[in-house]
Amino acid sequence: MARIAFDMDDVITDTYAAQKKWLETTYPETAEFADGRKFDTFLSDVQHNHFWEMLGEGEFFGEIQPMEGAVETLRELNRRHELFIVTAATLFPKSCIHKYNWVQRHLPFFDVGNIVFCANKSIVNVDYLIDDHAENFAGLKGQGLLFDAVHNRTSSYPDRIENWSAVRNYKF
């Protein structure tokens, strides 16, 4: 039985798609730039500040859709492994309750006692951490697996997971 931790945003939840939708609705003129690019590369300072204010309010995080295959794969892995959700929600403190409620709504089988809200993910004692930011593997005792995302496509991190089908087929 492996101890496996998963980041929430852009791993379990399709945060990029939700952010893109918010931008396209709030700033339609950005729609042509939003696909496949980091948002801070084309937003004005005012738009960028509004974007971060919206994230800081926290409610956004409760409405994000799960990544394709995430719920089913987590349900399956939960039968054989000890699972954790490790999210940097402390960077957006008002998001914590919304993320907690999201897990209860979308992952009713998940032990909510295994949700870790932190900024430094090396504090968790796990065999694997699947995250979309390679810097979160610093100091980790277990193996970091980089979940593919728009913002990390140029990363040279060697251990990459493409999608939830690859998570399902990984030999933990």
- pLDDT tens string, the chain, 172 residues long: the values are 999 999 999 999 999 999 989 988 998 887 666 666 667 677 888 988 998 999 989 899 999 999 999 999 999 999 999 999 999 989 899 999 999 999 999 999 999 999 999 989 999 999 999 999 999 999 999 999 999 998 898 899 999 999 999 999 999 9
Measure CA of the first residue to CA of the last residue in the chain; give whole Å. 8
- Match 């504090």 to its residue by tokens: 123
Q: What is the pLDDT of residue 36?
A: 64
Q: Quick one: tokens of 57?
A: 């309010």
Instruction: State the DSSP H helix or E strand holding residue 32, giving kind and residue range, or none if neither.
Output: helix 31-34
Q: What is the pLDDT of residue 37?
A: 63
Quick check: 98 and 67 in contact, CB under 8 A?
A: no
Whole-number Å distance between alpha carbons of 119 and 24: 29
